[in-house]
Structure 1
Amino acid sequence: MEAWLAPGGSFGWFGTENYDAARFVLQRGIAAIYLVAFVAALRQFPALLGERGLLPVPRLLDRVPMKGVPTLFRLGYTDRRLRVMCWAGVALAASVVVGVPQAGPPWLPMITFLAMYGLYLSLVNVGQVFFGFGWESLLLEAGFLAAFLGSDQTPTPIIVILAFRWLAFRVEFGAGLIKIRGDPVWRDLTALYYHHETQPMPGPLSWYFHHLPKPLHRAEVAANHVVQLVVPFLLFAPQPVATWAAAAVIATQAWLVISGNFAWLNWLTMLIAFSATGDGVLSALIPTLAPTEATRATPAAFAVVVAGAGLLTLVLSYWPVRNLLSRHQRMNASFNHWHLVGAYGAFGSITRRRHEIVVEGSAVADPGDGDWHEYVFAGKPGPVDRRPRQFAPYHLRLDWGMWFLGLGSASQYAWFDPFLDRLLLADPAVLRLLADDPFDGARPAWVRARVFAYRYSTPAERRGSGAWWVRREVADLARPRRLTP
């Protein structure tokens, strides 16, 4: 039986000595993802959402009542205020990564994580489509739960460990259900015939994954169903079963890390799943990780606060449970403005064909076919001879928006016209979001956007041309435009 009823003080029953390694990984790992998120916001938020951004937050605040929406920008937004908040988030996250708050009383990491949660929540709630991803809510919920893990002076609260397992369950089981319910290619095991080629942002190995034998693709999908529909229940089993269930989740998420770029989704899921890993199992595998025998007391006030957080999680679980049981399951749904205890899931449907938006400019007053030059984005496919790169867990928000635009998502058009105008102005903030500006900071005379169908080159085509992609034009998205006098 797991050592959930550990001794130590009047509230010793509240903690466990069997999950110190899990707490170590959860606190530092989640803080590291927050660090990445705040750095990404520093680099991208002003250009995308700032005072002169593509979807300016001040305009949102003027247009939409923010009553009831928790954000520090309710009293006004400035780029300077944004940068101060992000740098504060970076400093807080870095302190947890190196273990400073954990060395103090349990209130210190609690305050640190709640501050990070509040700062990032302020960004997400005004981030519009650029922050409309399920892993934003996942990071917020994980950061909120991490606030109640205590410090090195206290046992690890078992309530919080169970809350993390419930979060891992919702991520995995929700994704499994949405796949089975959503698209026949998951049911007939052919989803990976398409996924590696059409996923939002391929990685450096995605071409190779796509060209694996089809029987192996079918086996991968079948294994995925087992891990997402069966294994999540085992996260709540006694040890060592729970640890092996966590290992299965971590292994499949690592497979996704090396086969694509999904920001911090897979990295964070691996961290959350680690909550089911027991110290006893780890020390049996690696004797140097044997747990300490020190007796640590849980302060009564801290126990009460943790119990309150556990009760809140239990109450808010009504909505995601109802969503999981519904035939009309929603994917990546938040049921409150605090982004707590939401519904998760990814790739309920698989795109069969890849359409990419290619943006070009010309410095010539009357351009011909040979006078157009392509703007190269950092992560999304562009020039056919450029190998995809690894960016995750870093999040390239503009590139993801371009992928959704290629799918015909109407929600993306609001920022695309301003984006083209910024290119005509050679706006430095926007140009810094790109990998290559063909005009080296000078203003083009014209810009345009065309839609291309992309597919991976075959091994024979790759050997002959060195190209990773083959593309053909299918439509115009934005006809040539220039600045009007």
Structure 2
Amino acid sequence: MGWDWFTDPDYWASRLAFQRMLAAIYVIAFLVAANQFRALIGARGLLPVPAFVRRVPFRKAPSLFQLYYSDRFFAVVAWAGVVVSATLVLGLFDSAPVWASMIAWAVPWVLYQSIVNVGQIWYSFGWESLLLESGFLAIFLGPADMAPPVPILWLLLWLLFRVEFGAGMIKMRGDSCWRDLTCLYYHHETQPMPGPLSWHFHHLPKPLHKIEVLASHGTQLVVPFALFAPQPAASVAALIMIVTQGWLVLSGNFSWLNFLTIAVAVSALDNWGLPFSPAPLVEPPSWYVVIVLVVTAGLLVLSYRPAWNLVSRRQIMNYSFDRLHLVNTYGAFGGITKVRHEVVIEATDEPELTPDTVWHEYEFKGKPGDPRRRPRQWAPYHLRLDWLMWFAALSSSYSESWLQPLAEKLLAADRATLKLLRHDPFHGKPPTFLRARLYRYRFTTPEERRETGEWWVREPLAPALRTGRLGPDGAAIAVE
């Protein structure tokens, strides 16, 4: 029995490119987890996994760490994910049997699923679900000596459609500035973590900002429908999405969201008539065909609520309707903040507070701090604490579970926490008092930049932490 209807060799090269890019993002995701987990969700972290699994059952958060947790075991899981993903980047399973290829791709998916489902607020963003959903589909794409299965290629198109169209619809239903084309007057300055070019993007002429928004609307609301058209229309649509995602990479730091969207878009490109695929390609085994068709049917059933969400007036963005993140909703920045606020944390090692007390600022790696420091490029690497600090400045409701514990860790000079920062002004020694203040930040004008050499202008607004005595040693959170 032939399976000509089931596979399409015209997507052999794009399948391979997608797999390599996905595996590289897996490597980065596991490195982020390995480097940051102790301070954030470790046994003595800000939101410890052991406390989480005691109150949340396995059925609501499936994870290996529901069965057992220790910091050492988490490190083993994270570094195992790095190693397995690196073998996939190198193509070591390209010539493996189908079953071995499936297992190799299933391993990082299971490991990362286990991390996300206990990661709590630190792992609550759309790029986590996007990695898990695309990672699940990759399990069934097959090895390099077989043409990719058409049902999985269509599911990747469906995923890309939801990412782009969902983002477009949440904008049109959200802030009015998306409809009057003025959102980018503010967004490059107020986005969670500006990049090294964000200052320049912010100072583009306003008519160009409006063109940017129009291009975004076209790419997210019109172009996605062409993904399901015959070639070359689908490839042209994917290329437009790749270009716009590259623009977003240049203008800010959004973890691996843009990079992974580019990878998924690559899977929509055919061979453009070029002889990329080796010959001959083997036929897929019957058991594999059955599994792919069953998985496809299951994912189509699970797509009902995400599809309905796209057309709902109460659209939810970045939400998983199933515990395994198999089919999700996507979208971001339905509302745009017009003014940038930042929480700045300072401490002193003086024994008593006086009007002359000298405060020293903790510098974070990615979020704005010192006005003289140019924003850095971090994406696709993700600084989880820096990202959440932006939300802490928006509202205390986003940080009530972890900002106070963060202050306590800094007062104790917790080593794991200090590793998340760019600069500890006390060089590992505990300060005596700590305070957090809310600042208003804005980019300097070109004239101010030439005169001062600074990238930001800031002014203090209000305290951002409650006062509290933290121990017999006298260390305390101070509020003016």
4+ runs deviating over 6 angstroms: none
Q: Amino acid of the residue matched to residue 455 of structure 1?
A: R
- Are 2:321 and 1:335 aligned? yes
- Aligned equivalents of 1:290, 1:32: Cα separation in 2: 22
- Aligned equivalents of 1:369, 1:483: Cα separation in 2: 23
**What is the DSSP-based 3-state SS (H/G/I as helix, E as strand, rest coil) of the residue aligned with 1:297?**
coil
Structure 1 counterpart of 2:225:
233
In the superposition, the TM-score normalised over structure 1's length comes to: 0.95
- Aligned equivalents of 1:399, 1:371: Cα separation in 2: 25
Residues 23-80 of structure 1, C-alpha deviation per residue, up to 9 Å, x if partnerless? 1111111111111000000011111001000011111122233334311111231101
- Are 2:7 and 1:15 aligned? yes
Residues 394-430 of structure 1, C-alpha deviation per residue, up to 9 Å, x if partnerless? 1110001100101105132111111100101101100
From 301, 313, 316, the counterpart of 2:302:
316
Structure 1 counterpart of 2:408:
421
Structure 2 counterpart of 1:408:
395
- Aligned equivalents of 1:43, 1:252: Cα separation in 2: 31
From 61, 81, 88, the counterpart of 1:69:
61
Change (3 A) 1:458 1:370: farther
Structure 2 counterpart of 1:4:
none
Q: Which runs of 5+ in 1 are unaligned?
A: 1-8, 284-288
Are the equivalent residues in 1 in contact too, given 2:12–2:276 (CA < 8 A)? no
From 209, 216, 222, the counterpart of 1:224:
216
Residues 360-402 of structure 1, C-alpha deviation per residue, up to 9 Å, x if partnerless? 0101112445510000001000000000000000111000110
- Are 2:458 and 1:471 aligned? yes
Are the equivalent residues in 1 in contact too, given 2:198–2:252 (CA < 8 A)? yes
Q: Aligned residue pairs: how many? A: 471
Structure 1 counterpart of 2:128:
136
Are the equivalent residues in 2 in contact too, given 1:176–1:345 (CA < 8 A)? yes
Q: Amino acid of the residue matched to residue 302 of structure 1?
A: Y
- Aligned equivalents of 1:213, 1:482: Cα separation in 2: 50
Aligned-pair distance for 1:479?
5.4
Aligned-pair distance for 1:431?
0.1
Aligned-residue RMSD, C-alpha: 1.3
Change (3 A) 1:204 1:482: farther
Percent of residue pairs bearing the same amino acid type: 54
Aligned-pair distance for 1:481?
5.4
**What is the DSSP-based 3-state SS (H/G/I as helix, E as strand, rest coil) of the residue aligned with 2:72?**
helix
From 379, 390, 394, the counterpart of 1:392:
379
Are the equivalent residues in 1 in contact too, given 2:189–2:443 (CA < 8 A)? yes
- Aligned equivalents of 2:390, 2:140: Cα separation in 1: 37
- Aligned equivalents of 2:29, 2:335: Cα separation in 1: 27
From 262, 286, 292, the counterpart of 1:300:
286
Q: Amino acid of the residue matched to residue 188 of structure 2?
A: H
- Aligned equivalents of 1:183, 1:372: Cα separation in 2: 39
- Aligned equivalents of 2:287, 2:216: Cα separation in 1: 43
Alignment of 1:114-153 (within 5 A): 114-153=106-145
- Are 2:424 and 1:432 aligned? no
Structure 2 counterpart of 1:25:
17
**What is the DSSP-based 3-state SS (H/G/I as helix, E as strand, rest coil) of the residue aligned with 1:197?**
helix
**What is the DSSP-based 3-state SS (H/G/I as helix, E as strand, rest coil) of the residue aligned with 2:193?**
coil
Are the equivalent residues in 2 in contact too, given 1:173–1:228 (CA < 8 A)? yes
In the superposition, the TM-score normalised over structure 2's length comes to: 0.96
Residues 234-280 of structure 1, C-alpha deviation per residue, up to 9 Å, x if partnerless? 11111111111000000000000010000000000000111210012
Change (3 A) 1:369 1:405: farther
Aligned-pair distance for 1:108?
1.8
- Aligned equivalents of 2:470, 2:318: Cα separation in 1: 39
